[in-house]
């Protein structure tokens, strides 16, 4: 089955080159689709599809290009994280085939177990899979989300610039951080562009959770 990576580029050019290479090093064939949010970056990256935007539309465009994928699996990979093992996507495909038959499962690497008040920041944040046990979460963080493309046939594609991972997660009835991909990714330098450092973004995450869950 076809597998397509959905990437974004903004101001971490050195990172995106490493991310792309880590995808090419995977043990299975993967199409790489890149939305370039930086109009000043004229690089033609070594990808299968590249869309150069005249403006920075932030995170949502990866789902727009994802909706253009015909079928198969899709996954996101932020530009501050990359694969550290060549079998991560191969394992995700194997895991996905064995998941419960619930609507639109998502496999992730980090996530959130929401508390009763649905306060995003006071909920339980899981930063990586457990070595021994799979972890079921409510929100898969957009840094890495692996799923069947068919979820995008149901998602309403209104613009949700920076909390789109929360919106996408709300359409899934089964979200898991599997132990089989533990230690499969490593962080890259965030630089000064990290969204989570913004107080405005912190407020937006709370609003999005209460809106979609």
Give the per-residue pLDDT at 194: 59
Q: What proportion of the chain, given as a percentage, has pLDDT over 90? A: 89
As a residue count, the chain comes to 213
130-164 residue pLDDT tens: 999 999 999 999 999 999 999 999 998 777 888 99
Residue 171's nearest CA partner among 143, 195, 147, 207 is: 147
Q: What is the mean pLDDT of the segment spanning 3-18?
A: 96
pTM above 0.85, yes or no: yes
Confidence of residue 85 (pLDDT cuts 50, 70, 90): very high
Mean pLDDT of the region 76-104: 97
- Averaged pLDDT, 117-136: 97
Cα(74)–Cα(122) distance, rounded to whole angstroms?
30
Q: What is the pLDDT of residues 159-201, one digit of tens each?
A: 788 899 999 999 999 999 999 999 999 999 876 655 655 778 8
pLDDT at 202 over 90: no
Q: Give the chain's end-to-end CA distance (angstroms, integer).
A: 31
DSSP for 113-151 reads E--TT--TTTSEEE-S--SSS-EE-SEE-TTEEEEEGGG
Residue ranges of domains in the chain, CATH in brackets: 3-212 (3.90.550.10)
Structure tokens at 20: 């792309």
Which pLDDT score, from 0 to 100, does residue 159 have?
77
> Which residues are CB-neighbours of 144 under 8 A, at least 6 positions away?
75, 76, 77, 78, 81, 108, 109, 110, 185
Q: Are 152 and 80 in contact (CB under 8 A)?
A: no
Collapsing DSSP to helix, strand or coil, 25 comes out as: coil
């Amino acid at each position: 089955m076809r597998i397509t990576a959905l990437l974004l580029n903004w101001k971490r050019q050195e990172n995106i080159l490493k991310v792309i290479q880590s995808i090419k090093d995977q043990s299975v064939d993967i199409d790489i689709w890149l939305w370039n949010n930086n109009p000043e970056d004229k690089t033609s990256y070594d990808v299968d599809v590249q869309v150069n935007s005249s403006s920075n539309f932030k995170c949502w465009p990866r789902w727009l290009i994802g909706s253009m994928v015909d079928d198969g699996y899709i996954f996101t990979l932020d530009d501050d994280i990359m694969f550290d093992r060549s079998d991560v996507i191969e394992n995700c495909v194997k895991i996905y085939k064995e998941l419960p038959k619930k609507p639109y499962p998502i496999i992730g690497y980090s996530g959130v177990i929401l508390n009763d008040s649905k306060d995003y920041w006071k909920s339980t944040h899981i930063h990586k899979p457990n070595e021994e046990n799979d972890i079921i979460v409510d929100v898969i963080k957009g840094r890495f989300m692996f799923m069947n493309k068919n979820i995008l046939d149901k998602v309403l594609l209104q613009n949700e610039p920076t909390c789109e991972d929360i919106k996408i997660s709300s359409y899934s009835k089964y979200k898991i951080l599997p132990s089989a991909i533990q230690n499969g990714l490593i962080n890259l330098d965030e630089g000064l562009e990290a969204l989570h450092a913004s107080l405005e973004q912190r407020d937006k995450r709370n609003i999005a959770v209460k809106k979609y869950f």
